[in-house]
Structure 1
């Protein structure tokens, strides 16, 4: 086995936050002239540059994979030095006009960064450092410029030419070509630049702002897909109205465009006035998109639109401040989505996502604060910590300050820093100033990694009618941070009377030190503790509560999230005990689920979430050593008992929530969700007619939610209906790439013992490709989170993933690096599995020509 020191003899350098220096040169104006073509594009860039401060340093421009044809300074040929990815130009005065002409090849750009081709469409992705693959520029977020962009292209091949800002001119040329010019009056960093050229059609609409201005809206897609953009357009208009109402933010240009492309490394990009989207977050109709897809489209459209202020008008000083825009904007899109439907279910979904992705990140070798201190490749820090935990940190500020002071803080932040490149400290300072609150200790959330663990102990003095709640916190060590200071943790708590069910106390507690005691009076009967209600802080709570207490809360707590949490904790305790070799009593869980199912006052969408068992991966996260097979057996046994003991209730729920036609509304979504959850439990009971019920739902479904729900149940079975459904799904949707991704993913997530072999075969399928990030994530990404299949004891899954990473790294390092963390959790598993995972990481790091993206992830995972 190769040793890590051999492979890492000359690692790429780190970029460190402490080494930040303001830019030596500013570029207040940029004019770009594109002669567009897939095989060959020429870019003429005219930069007006200005010396920033008293120094004699030359102008340094970033450029990667560019063929430099010419360079002039103030119209004359000039000396320069071009080494590696940097162009150095000596300039005598304090201002100059620097013009470069470069050539690039978009069709050969498999990294999907810079200007590239996707299915005949030319498009850009510049965040974080993709602009340097278009032309030479100081490619950093604190260099803000006003852009004027002219594009010339073959009109038949590229009839639509779009860029940032507002259109200022267009025309035809004699040779079958045409041109268009766009101007963005707002200064922006290079990462927000965008350009699209292609044969596209638009869903056009308009929005009237609160000041009376009309904004022209366009969602641009391939011919034939316009009808599938109706939901996205409705979400865009709702987002614009919501941002005006809740944050007072009005849109500032005359045009807002969105373009959907099939090949995209991310979900979407907030480029000023021209958002570019992964098509999976734009296209939706009942036949091809699930309810979750519809929700995701609305959430991502809102997220990218909200960036117009939280990211564009106020941007990041440097990439260490990434959560400044992303954490804040995720919080904003979560608020928006909660307002559009069930706030309780949305909170459950957000916390489930946090626990599935961010908590493991916080407890592993890639842990980092929401404001990191260093990186090798910035694209590796587009993580759940930056986004999801960053949103939770903003939510805590909202909780501590209250809605009115929080809104005053955001108003002050936008007013104070409009048109600037700001820092996380700037945001906290605005909250501090507007809220009149000292947030000195709160700043630790930006600098310390790790998920705090809070121990809660409640005692009761019946004679005095008083309860004592003792809280203690501990922040575990993380790489580079072995010793932690206590974090300020806002905890919403309540006490309920065990006998009466009455709420005896309800308050917000701010735990700031290592330990704190809270005295609550007026507690005459034995209290039951409800803690971290609404998940008011991203922490792990260890509370001394019995199974009876948890069952009581699951039936009586008036906070929906706390009610859900009590049920989940009851289930979790049962599963952990079983996985550890004990024989726990399933009866408390069965009775709690029965109470929830028979409570007619509860929203079906909430019921569906509450009765779902914790995932196998989440159960493993609670164990010192993960035992995938033991966890799987424990979970399947509890599912079987729930299915068998409550079969009549599941069948009643299944029948009661059958829909005659598709409707996208909170009640209809809840009905569909509970119906498929009920069918899953019927199947888990071993009922002989379950496969036929699932196939009937699959065949008769008028929407993708019901169809995929049934397929997800069948794919775990051995029934003949399984193969028939998979074949029918493939035949129906083989020409639709987004839906075919679902076909790959559902098989990669199967709990069958032959899943690793099936996934390996699917990787050879004619429709599988490494070049499309969506397809790669559907098969390989899904398989890597399938705990039982991926962690098969023979190491087959580990080698498969490592092979995929190395293959993709040659095409698209950014996408390849995102697959590495699944191997990085090797320390959590038994010695044999750990050695196999570690060995694959060592093989990756030892590979010649490895990208710095993958090197950073793999080497840190071994450290």
Structure 2
């Protein structure tokens, strides 16, 4: 480990500068199109040990007549190409070699400039060399474990050949790969293979052609000793067979069945749901060790970290299998939302990533429902006398039923969408006594994507990861401004909040009009590079709500998390309830368009039909739009006429849920026919990425919702809000006692009012409800994370907050112990009776394991020695990775002999499987045993840790940042260690180092002592010589927040 004063020089394969997209911008920062069109390209890559030679033949012409070039037209005399760390060998223009004075290669700026090119079409051929074996940055062409691979998003192609490396230059590609037959028997690239053959010198070649235009970031090539696992997908409309192939190193043979099924399911779903038929002869997935990202889409062949393609119950947990399923689908769905329609510039990244993340979320929920139905049909219920045994397990029948279910469900939604979109927009001029009619745009039998545990998981992720990002010093909108390093654009905000914005279109428009809008977008922009404005325009093109588009677009350029303040007023005399909503966001210059899905619940716990009274002002039409006026203290809420859109809810065709559209700073709605005061269910389905502040909210009112709310998200959210209120109350108790030390804190917490009965009752009901999904139960039992709570508090001490969380976990475990133990026993019995089915990713078994392991997790707060021995026994007897890792994680948080024995056994068992050992690294690094920093420092020198593998770096060092006790240690040792690690990783892989540096950027949300400790390390990083641009941007942005705070003071 290099210390603060002993910085070594950066090796030549690590970047000291950052790729930028300045070529997409004019001098004033606005978008400027490239002045040339690269119509066709032929790429010839000759793989040789140490040096790979690339010959790039481009057919170039000036940009198409009529294109508005602006000042870029002046540059048509010159051609400027990007090229980084390349050895330039030859340049030919129209077949003639160019003399050296005809061009300039500025290696520091990574630019090749041809000083004068023809004013008409011309052919440019550039021959260059690159060194993939030395490329530890893993961008461009690199080699890992004997396999060559090319990863080009966002700016990697410039490390392969000279090119206008920007996403708005689309070309048709042919590729020829050549290499040694023995070392590189498989040669893969984009599109369809057109030729292959033998060459002298024990070499061979393969030729590929991609018929669809694409930018260079969608190029890829893979070469090496690869084993293939093959299946097929049949296009329903034509009967065409599409080959589906998975390529990995031979050691992963027999471990790719789950991924093949996942890919086939994704292809069937996208075709049936959205009409997206695959457009090549085959679809390939290639697994690479040490891949920089989890995965990337390239046309016809997607690249993955190999652990995502070789997925088995023996090596992967159920959660990892679900992650693999979603990523397999995500990369495939990019074929249209990203490949056929790409982005104009990288600041539009959320256009493809937010849309595709929304699509993979919808698919995952449908897959879960289809898989559960297929399991019930082919195997029965686990634990029953007829279902679950190995003799009853018919994998082939199950897969066929699952794929059929996927296609049927999606086709039904597609048909319903067409019928709904064809219906006229609903308009109501009915008197106040009549219920409002559902809007035709959403008139499908129930929500298009019903709220399930998947939706709760997505909302939890937004709160745990994205909202803290929104509140911290690195806060940015889903479409960041120009100037941001492209490598730092790939954030939770761009992906996950971007997906929430797409989902809001779906919520607002209804499935039918959303479907039509998506088809319009794909059709209008096929083969082009589009913008977020293009998507918004397509969505609202056929909608009566088109006037809301400007308010919707504000989501793209506004950072931060909106807070909705909710006030309800019930009138017994009028039998009405008035719901007043106010939106607040410091960074918003004008109100955002916020869909708030609500329901009303009667005293008997049942959903009520919703009768929305006509607005007191404005039009009597069913759809009403408010003006964008800021509220004032003298202006009554009835002056506002906010938009309302009704969507069907849980009462079939009757209306038990409504989506209220708020596009002003505040608005009010009045519900009638309410003889008794109802409970208000808010933010159903997590209809917008906002925080709620409900005036007059109590433990009792939340407890009622936690017991009776029929909406899965809203019920879970009521439990979370109960937990959050409790944690914040007790934090104040602990804070007042903190001066007296740990014993005083513990005494104060013990004397304070404990867990409210409403929370205990809600969790008991969930534990005893056999109808609840096991994965949903598991989510109900999870306490909010510390860093999830921090942005909602006034600069708390994270260590103290962690102590409070442990105290609450212990109290809950004690009060729920009988129900938790009963759940564990029930799940154990059912899994034992299931036989072989309990081992695999069989939906009923997955759900039982999730519920049982969550119950064990809550029980582990009791630190019971008997439970420790039980966990160790469970570790050794586990027949799948899910159960083994669950036991290991719980054992790892206590420094006991059982912990040491289990960790040693895990390492010895999986020492030959590096991807599995990443779990071993993470479990130790994330452990909350005190003084763990030295253990993690030692693990950085362990033979099982590979600093050149980004997945290993993320597991060990990212895992350490998850430890509240050690990362936020009061002596600052955790922050100092992380800064050391950032410097060391930065010498190898700047992008991986920048990811780590982000955990030091949230200082402004913590208490003063932790702020100073964290800022000291940021300043040390800022003063480090040779720091990469990627890391420096993170550090300087974080410190800039400090400067702005000082200037404000």
In 1, distance between residues paired with 2:811 and 2:202?
70
Task: Return the offset for 1:592.
Answer: 2.1
Once residues 310 and 499 of structure 1 are traced to their aligned partners in structure 2, the CA distance between those partners, rounded to angstroms, is: 46
SS in 1 for 2:583: strand
1:174 to 2:200 alignment:
yes
How far has the Cα of 1:60 moved from its partner? 1.0
SS in 1 for 2:692: strand
Residue 400 of structure 1 is aligned with which of 490, 502, 508?
A: 508
Q: Give 1:619-634 correspondences, 5 Å limit.
A: 619-634=789-804
- Which of residues 976, 979, 987 in structure 2 aligns to 1:810? 987
Is 1:24 aligned to residue 35 of structure 2?
yes
Displacement of 1:405: 0.4
Specify the alignment match of 2:249 in structure 1: 222
| 1:614 paired to 2:784 | yes
Is residue 581 of structure 2 the alignment partner of residue 471 of structure 1?
A: yes
- String of CA shifts for 1:304-354, please: whole Å, max 9, x gaps: 000000000001111111111000000000000010116511111111111
Match of 1:50 among 48, 61, 64: 61
* Bigger proportion of residues as strand: 1
Question: How far 1:123 moved relative to its partner?
Answer: 0.2
1:585 aligns with 2:754: yes
- Measured after TM superposition, the shift of residue 546 of structure 1 is 0.8
2:767 and 2:983 map into 1 onto residues whose CA distance is 48
1:504 touches 1:522 (CA, 8 Å); kept in 2?
no
Distance 2:484 2:560 in 1: 21
User: Within the alignment, does 1:834 sit opposite 2:1011 as a pair?
Assistant: yes
- 1:24 positional shift: 0.8
Matched, 1:73 2:93: yes
User: Cα 1:860–1:12, aligned 2, differ >3 Å: closer, same or farther?
Assistant: farther
Please say if 1:844 is aligned against 2:1021. yes
Residue segments in structure 2 that go unaligned for 5+ positions in a row: 6-16, 66-72, 370-450, 611-656, 735-751, 833-837, 1041-1049
Q: CA offset at residue 502 of structure 1? A: 4.4
Query: Does the C-alpha gap of structure 1 residues 100 and 848 become closer, same or farther in structure 2, counting only changes over 3 Å?
Result: same
Residues 1:62 and 1:625: Cα distance change in structure 2 (over 3 Å): same
Q: 1:541-690 maps to which residues of 2 (within 5 A)?
A: 541-544=692-695, 545-581=697-733, 583-588=752-757, 589-658=759-828, 659-660=831-832, 661-690=838-867
TM-score normalised over the length of structure 1: 0.96
Q: Does 1:540 align with 2:717?
A: no
Alignment-derived partner of residue 498 in structure 1: 603
Match of 1:747 in 2: 924
State the match for 1:518 in structure 2: 669
1:494 is paired with a residue of what secondary structure?
strand
> Could you tell me how far apart the structure 1 residues matched to 2:932 and 2:773 are?
35
The CA distance in 1 between the partners of 2:562 and 2:323, in whole Å, is: 29
Aligned-pair CA distance for 1:195: 0.3
1:158-177: CA deviation from partner (whole Å, max 9, x where unpaired): 00000000001111122111
| SS of residue matched to 2:229 | strand
**For residue 341 of structure 1, what is the aligned residue in structure 2?**
368
Write out per-residue CA displacement over residues 639-678 of structure 1, whole angstroms, 9 at most, x where no aligned residue.
Answer: 1112112212111111100123313233211110111111
Which residue number corresponds to residue 7 of structure 1?
Answer: none
1:707 equivalent in alignment to 2:733:
no
CA distance in 1: counterparts of 2:839 and 2:541, whole angstroms: 49
String of CA shifts for 1:164-222, please: whole Å, max 9, x gaps.
00001111122111111111111000000000000000001111112222111110001
1:13 deviates by 8.4
| Mapped partners of 2:607, 2:284: distance in 1 | 53
Correspondences of 1:20-169 after superposition (within 5 Å): 20-52=31-63, 55=74, 56-78=76-98, 79-83=102-106, 84-89=109-114, 90-169=116-195
Q: Is residue 376–residue 853 contact of structure 1 (8 Å, CA) maintained in 2?
A: no
- Asked if 2 retains the 8 angstrom alpha-carbon contact of 1:412 and 1:434, the reply is no
1:450 and 1:616 map into 2 onto residues whose CA distance is 19
Deviations 1:129-162 (A, max 9, x none): 0000000011110100111111111110000000
Distance in 2 separating the partners of 1:633 and 1:584 = 16
- Kindly report which structure 2 residues correspond to 1:419-458, keeping only aligned pairs within 5 A, or say none: 419-438=527-546, 439-458=549-568
**CA shift for structure 1 position 275:** 0.6
Q: Deviations over 1:782-806 (max 9, x none)?
A: 1113223210011111111111111
* 1:694 aligned onto 2:871: yes
DSSP 3-state at the match of 2:193: strand
Once the two structures are TM-superposed, the CA of residue 226 in structure 1 deviates from its matched residue by 2.2
Distance 2:49 2:853 in 1: 46
Task: Give the deviation of 1:619 after TM superposition.
Answer: 2.3
Counterpart contact for 2:564–2:691, Cα < 8 Å:
yes
Q: Is the 8 A contact 2:21 2:166 kept in 1?
A: no
Following the alignment from structure 1 to structure 2, what is the Cα–Cα distance between the partners of residues 111 and 70? 26
Moved more, 456-465 or 184-193: 456-465
Question: Residues 449-485 of structure 1: CA distance to partner in whole angstroms, max 9, x if unpaired?
Answer: 11101000111111211111110011133xxxxx532
Q: Quickly say closer, same or farther: Cα 1:457–1:277, change in 2 above 3 A.
A: same
The runs of 5 or more residues in structure 1 that have no matched partner are 3-9, 478-482
CA contact (8 A) 1:577 1:584 kept: no
Alignment check: 8 A CA contact 2:149 2:220 kept: yes
Greater Cα offset, 498-507 or 250-259: 498-507
Shift of 1:697: 1.2
Q: Aligned residue for 1:5?
A: none
Q: Which has the higher contact order (CA 8 A, sep 6+)?
A: 2
The range that moved more, 97-106 or 573-582, is: 573-582
Give the whole-Å Cα distance in 1 for the aligned partners of 2:77 and 2:453: 56
How do residues 721-740 of structure 1 correspond to structure 2 at under 5 angstroms? 721-740=898-917
Q: How far is the alpha carbon of 1:285 from its aligned partner? A: 0.6
Q: Is the 8 A contact 2:993 2:1031 kept in 1?
A: yes
What is the total number of aligned residue pairs between the two structures? 851
For 1:777 and 1:568, the matched residues in 2 are separated by: 28
SS of residue in 1 equivalent to 2:537: helix
CA distance in 2, matches of 1:40, 1:173: 19
CA distance in 2, matches of 1:643, 1:746: 23
2:590 to 480, 485, 490: 485
| RMSD between aligned residues | 1.7
**Deviation string, structure 1 residues 492-528 (Cα, Å, up to 9, x no partner):** 0112123554435331111111111111111221221
Partner Cα separation in structure 2 for residue 526 and residue 764 of structure 1? 64
In structure 2, distance between residues paired with 1:207 and 1:496:
46
Q: Distance in 1 between matches of 2:139 and 2:543?
A: 41
Q: Give the Å deviation of 1:764.
A: 2.2
Residue 327 (structure 1) aligns with = 354
Question: 1:12 Cα deviation (Å)?
Answer: 10
**Which residue of structure 1 lines up, in the alignment, with residue 628 of structure 2?**
none
3-state SS of paired residue (1:285): coil
CA apart distance, 1:600:
2.7
Offset, 1:489: 0.3
Conservation of the 8 A alpha-carbon contact between 2:19 and 2:155: no
Residue 382 of structure 1 aligns with which residue? 490
Q: What is the CA deviation profile of residues 415-437 of structure 1, one whole-angstrom value per residue up to 9, with x for unaligned ones?
A: 11111111111111101113342
Deviations 1:803-825, CA, capped at 9 Å, x for gaps:
11111111111111111111111
Residues 47 and 97 in structure 1, CA contact (< 8 A), matched pair in contact too: yes
**Are residues 518 and 664 of structure 1, via their aligned partners in 2, closer, same or farther at CA, if it must alter by over 3 Å?**
same
8 Å Cα contact 2:128/2:161 also seen in 1: yes
Cα deviation code 1:737-790 (max 9, x no counterpart)? 111000011111212223223222222222112110000000101111322321
Q: Secondary structure at the match of 2:1016?
A: helix
Preserved contact between residue 472 and residue 1002 of structure 2 (Cα < 8 Å): yes
* Contact preservation (8 Å) 2:562, 2:585: yes
Whether contact under 8 Å (2:473, 2:1004) holds in the other structure is no
Whole-angstrom CA distance in 1 between matches of 2:857 and 2:296:
37
Contact 1:497 1:504 in 2 (8 A): no
Q: In the aligned structure 2, how far is the partner of 1:11 from the partner of 1:749?
A: 31
CA distance in 2 between partners of 1:662 and 1:376 (Å) = 46
